[in-house]
Structure 1
Amino acid sequence: MSTDLNQLKIDRSGLTVSSRSPWPKRLIWLAAIAVTVVVIMVLGGNRPANVSTTSVVNVWPSQPITVLNATGYVAAQRKAAVASKGTGRLEWLGVREGSVVKQGEVIARLENSDVKAQVEQAQANAAVARSQLQEAEAELRNTELAFKRAKELIAQKLISTSDYDLADARYAQAKAAVAARRSAIQAAEANVRVTQVALENTSIRAPFDGVVLTKNANVGDVLSPFNTGLDSKGAVVSMADMNTLEVEADVSEASLGKVKLGQACEIQLDGLPEVRLLGEVASMVPSVDRSKATVMFKIRFVETDARVLPDMSAKVAFLERTLAADERKPRMGVNPQAIRSVDNRKEVLRVRDGKLEVIAVTVASMLGDAQIISGDLTIGDKLVLNPAPELKAGAAVTVAE
């Protein structure tokens, strides 16, 4: 029995007890976790904030009183394709695109040596006819004197009746010759005028004061008034009177009640976005474009600008009333949600090179949907929308797409 109990006894002689504590390893792991948390917090705190932005824009006082907007194009109401009345080869061209010309000014000329020769020949024929008239008038004076003597002699019965009749016939013949020579002079002078007109037709003149828009022919080209030949040209140049420029704008049928003759307008040209010109509704084309369901209105320029050119695209704002003098300049405006209040002052956050700048502003009245402000800002600056209170100057940000 005692032997069995000894067999159940645990032998601890082969076991070794470690004297090292487990706490140092745990402290190392805790320290590593703490450092990781700190690094994550630091990196997270320096991450740029993602913000939405809006732009500083020009706000025009005409926007709140605009009743209708329309688009159109600038067109000259007085324009012409200048062609030659005669047929011939272009010998001289004195203008180019953009040339300013006066009414009656010669801008081109056809070869005209043959026509000049015809003029000289017609003038010579007229001179011959005038000389022949002088000869006939001298003959008339002689026959008239002879007839008067014959008349006296026949009364005294000193000549025969046949001699008297012969003198009378010569006198009548001389008068007829003078009349014929005078008619010949008229015909010769008319022929001179015909050839002079033909010579004048070789000179191409400007029909009115204007500017050359396009050049359609060059020296050496054959010109024809009806452009019947395969290689012939019709118009030499096209030109327009810049004093008759108007904007032709299409207005929807549904909006006709908002537009009337004489209504004040403001014209903005796509090519000159910084310019706003005053205009006035001049006329309405009395027909409807079925395909677009629109009516064309012509808007006259009350103000002019030398840079306005035909076929420029334009936007027209039809206004409730004429703008006052102090309403002609734009104001600086922003989205009201870009302004925040800090310590009883207004400020905006400008984004520049990925950093925030705090700009103090003075707030004026609303103009349409924009808040009019003043401050150290320029048109086009990017401002943070709905700026959070924690956003400070110098903070790095990224702009949301």
Structure 2
Amino acid sequence: MKDLDLSKLRVDRSAPAAPAKRAGLSWRKIMLGGLALLLAAALLWPKAPAVQTTQVVSAWPSQQFVLLNATGYVSASRKASVAPKGTGRVEWIGVAEGDEVKAGDLLARLESGDVAASHLAANANVNVAAASVRTATAELDDSQRNLDRANALFKKKLVSQLYLQDASSRLARADAAVASAKASLDAARANELLARRNTEYTQIRAPFDGVVISRTANVGDIVTPLASAADAKGAVLMMADMKSLEVAAEVSESSLSQIRVGQPCEIVLDAFPDKRLRGEVAVIVPTINRASATVTTKVRILDQDSAVLPDMSARVSFLSQPAQADQQPVLAVNPQAIVEQDGTSLVYAVDAEDKVRAVPVVVGATLGSVRAIQGPLKAGETVVLAPPKKLRDGGRIERGSKT
């Protein structure tokens, strides 16, 4: 074996060292490159447009005829505080709030023992006076016969002139007695009528057909027309004629030229916002409220409804022509939500994930500030207001404010 040359295996330490490779540099480049790609994608990716939204609503066809709106309260033009003519203590009340009554029905009664006794005494006096008339009449008849007999005897010269004069005087006195008895009978009958009326005044009856709306007294309360006594009541009941209900609405003085007597109206009660009642202007009160610059109009309710009660809040729309009695609500939307694409009217409905759906609609009449539509929508759905031209079916939006 030849001898090995170990000198060739020696490391040359005088040569310059190779630069060391930095660990992790390739991963940093990868991360920076990825971020750059994401930023470029974000800049180039189409951004969801920010839009305003509105809702599909229910509207009534009569809104297209509205000239003016006003607010007011329901009232009955025929109502009364039912009270007795005299003072007395309430003995009985036969009705309650909400009861319907007819004119002449007995509603309540006061204690009447004293006036009933007076009525009995007046009846007795009438009987006495009538008996006196009969007695006086009998005396008159007898005096007439006596005078006739005296005349016959005087012609035969069987009695003196003085006897004839006495018979004539007796007849005159009998005639006066009859007149006096009849006058006493008339006075007794008048007293009996007064006693009977006083008895009737203790019975409180309905003055007209209507509904009892409140009870202002209870059994045992003292009622007096002037209510001047301590703790006395001025009335027993309050009642109203529900067929005379109307709405007293305040109209601005500047809008007075737009209303007239007999003008058709539509009434909406705050208690029943989905119900429409027809009405007409009955009275325009000929005076102006200087403080508010308004005039009061009385709008008669034509559609009678038992749900309508006095003092309810109401809105009145003054119309250019009468509304239909059987009208039904229709779908409507802000006109700015309707767009035309390829000859078709569309609205863009928005779902819970802010994706839009193009819905074809048939556009109807303008109903106030909204436009009637027909289509596969329902009241309460959200649609895009003034959709941008680049918006398409299935696209996304960024919601702004609602209108």
TM-score after normalising by structure 2: 0.79
Residue 203 (structure 2) pairs with residue 221 (structure 1): no
CA drift at 1:249? 2.2
Q: Is the 8 A contact 2:358 2:393 kept in 1?
A: no
Which residue number corresponds to residue 194 of structure 1?
194
In the alignment, structure 2 segments of 5+ residues that lack a partner are 1-11
Whichever residue aligns with residue 63 of structure 1, its letter is Q
Q: Which residue of 2 aligns with 1:137?
A: 137
* Inter-CA distance 162–323: structure 2 relative to 1 (3 Å threshold): closer
Conserved? CA contact 1:359–1:376, under 8 Å? no
> Do 2:50 and 2:397's aligned partners in 1 also have CA atoms closer than 8 Å?
no
Counterparts of 1:116 and 1:208, CA distance in 2: 26
Task: Write the deviation string for residues 100-152 of structure 1: whole angstroms up to 9, x where unpaired.
Answer: 22222222211112111111111111112222322333333333333333333
Q: How far is the alpha carbon of 1:18 from its aligned partner?
A: 10
Matches within 5 A, 1:100-179: 100-179=100-179
Give the C-alpha shift of residue 195 in structure 1: 0.4
Q: Does 1:310 align with 2:316?
A: no
CA deviations over 1:296-344 (Å, ceiling 9, x no partner): 2222334333322222222222233334679x43321123444567898
CA pair 131-363 structure 1, distance change in 2 beyond 3 A: same
CA distance in 1, matches of 2:32, 2:393: 31
In structure 2, what is the Cα distance between the partners aligned to 1:138 and 1:27?
A: 151
Greater alpha carbon shift after TM alignment, 122-131 vs 139-148:
139-148
1:63 paired residue number:
63
Could you tell me how far apart the structure 1 residues matched to 2:35 and 2:98 are?
74
User: What amino acid is the match of 2:186?
Assistant: Q
Q: 2:247 matched to which residue of 1? A: 247
Alignment partner, residue 97 of structure 1: 97
Cα distance in 2 for residues equivalent to 1:66 and 1:158: 106
Structure 2 residue matching 1:379: 3-state secondary structure: coil
Structure 2 CA distance, aligned partners of 1:187 and 1:143?
Answer: 26
2:361 equivalent in structure 1: 362
Task: Indicate the larger mover: 349-358 or 53-62.
Answer: 349-358
Deviation at 1:393, TM superposition (A): 6.2
Give the 3 Å change call, closer, same or farther, for CA 351–230 of structure 1 in structure 2: farther
The runs of 5 or more residues in structure 1 that have no matched partner are 1-11
The 1:125/1:36 distance shift into structure 2, 3 A limit, reads farther
Deviations 1:50-89 (A, max 9, x none): 8643111123333343332222222222222222101101
Once residues 221 and 130 of structure 2 are traced to their aligned partners in structure 1, the CA distance between those partners, rounded to angstroms, is 41
Q: Secondary structure at the match of 1:267?
A: strand
Equivalent position SS for 1:290 = coil
Q: Percent identity?
A: 42
Distance in 1, Cα, partners of 2:175 & 2:297: 70
Aligned residue in 2 for 1:287: 287
Q: CA deviation at 1:234?
A: 0.9
Conserved 8 A contact 2:79-2:238? yes
- Report Cα offsets for 1:195-228 as digits up to 9, x if no partner: 0111111112222222222221111111111222
- How many residue pairs end up in the alignment? 385
Per-residue deviation at 1:163?
A: 4.4
Task: Please give the alpha-carbon distance, in whole angstroms, between the structure 1 residues aligned to 2:249 and 2:278.
Answer: 15
CA distance in 1, matches of 2:176, 2:256: 76
